[in-house]
Amino acid sequence: MSGDPPIRVVLAKLGLDGHDRGLKVVARILRDAGMEVVYLGLRQTTETIVDAVEQEDADVVGISMLNAGHLTLGPRIVDALAEAGLDVPVVIGGIVPDEDRPALADAGVAGVLGPGAPIEEVVAGIRDAVAARGR
């Protein structure tokens, strides 16, 4: 495992949500865990995220959602990645009610991390999503 290249993560805020403090903390957590992080920042579109995943040869996408758009935007990014021929898991972080998690899983979202998730859970969530795709 030590010879494997680091996991490449694209992190972004999809849509109009303007709060990114938590996502910046996640970026730091993942970097400290040895991952390469490409932080796209605020107000990204599905297209900009898909383009970045392709250009950066990302292994996983982390999307932060605090605006209750997870049931619409989560599946949209999963579908857009698939349409682009990119087999890259999507992990959503933020405020996602427990009752919405099965619908997100059914839509292809690889994982959901809630606010205040412990560092170990954040790192494991990303690693598990990547491992489930065979890396």
CATH architecture of the domain formed by 8-131: 3-Layer(aba) Sandwich (3.40)
Q: Is the dihedral of CA 34, 79, 49, 22 positive or negative?
A: negative
Q: What string of pLDDT tens digits covers the 135 residues of the chain?
A: 457 899 999 999 887 667 778 889 999 999 999 999 999 988 899 999 999 999 999 999 999 887 778 888 899 999 999 999 999 999 999 889 999 999 999 999 999 998 889 999 999 999 999 999 887
pTM over 0.85: yes
